């Protein structure tokens, strides 16, 4: 069996972080006196860089840094732990690690926060390296995160991305890396398929079957 290099998104793929992210985004929108949409509409905040999504909900571009600061005022102490690993994820990571695959995190979430989440849930031990956005925003897009990670890995042979949004698919495709989309996250399956995902896993068990 040929071993794989698997790049995992975090939010919406490894953990269900929606409650904490949405709660903190609602706080930021209220700070600006903006309309707070339904929880369903707010799901789009999970995954993509916050600056881009805040603008879509009416925050002026020049205020987005401050909006993120308002978001983090709650997220770094409370929201980050309004979060839980998806059922079956721990078993998936255990099986992939036991088979000798190399596992990495490639997330648009700030790297320091990604590490806190993984340590909190005792999942960090499964990953060779965690790569995320930088706090100064010098590295924020998924394609940039993957580029930085590939400098460490050194090649893309037998490498696959696993994520829940079209951003994961297109970010990986910019480096000629195929993506398996997961249906349990916050992105739309049809968007991932349109972006070029070569398979969609409905459950972690099905994802394991696609990866082995």
Per annotation, catalytic residue among 9, 11, 16, 164: 9
- Annotation says 9 is catalytic: yes
Are β-strands 159-163 and 179-182 bridged in parallel, bridged antiparallel, or unpaired?
Answer: parallel
Task: Give the full edge-to-edge strand order of the sheet including 102-110.
Answer: 129-133, 102-110, 5-8, 159-163, 179-182, 199-201
Distance between CA atoms of 81 and 98, rounded to whole angstroms?
A: 28
Q: Which residues are catalytic?
A: 9
């Amino acid at each position: 069996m040929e071993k794989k290099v698997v790049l995992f998104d975090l939010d919406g793929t490894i953990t269900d972080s929606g409650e904490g992210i949405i709660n903190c985004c609602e706080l930021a929108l209220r700070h600006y006196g903006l309309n707070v949409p339904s929880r369903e509409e707010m799901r789009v905040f999970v995954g993509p860089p916050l600056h881009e999504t805040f603008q879509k909900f009416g925050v002026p571009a020049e205020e987005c840094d401050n909006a993120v600061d308002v978001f983090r005022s709650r997220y770094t102490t409370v929201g980050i732990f309004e979060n839980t690993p998806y059922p079956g994820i721990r078993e998936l990571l255990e099986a992939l690690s036991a088979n000798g695959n190399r596992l990495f995190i490639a997330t648009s979430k700030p790297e320091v926060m990604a590490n806190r989440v993984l340590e909190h849930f005792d999942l960090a031990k499964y990953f060779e390296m965690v790569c995320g956005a930088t706090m100064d925003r010098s590295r924020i897009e998924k394609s940039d995160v993957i580029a930085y990670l590939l400098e460490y890995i050194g090649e893309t042979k037998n490498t696959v991305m696993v994520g829940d949004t079209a951003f994961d698919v297109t970010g990986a495709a910019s480096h000629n890396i195929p993506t398996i989309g997961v249906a349990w996250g916050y992105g739309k399956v049809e968007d991932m398929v349109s972006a070029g995902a070569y398979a969609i896993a409905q459950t972690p068990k099905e994802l394991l079957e696609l990866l082995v």
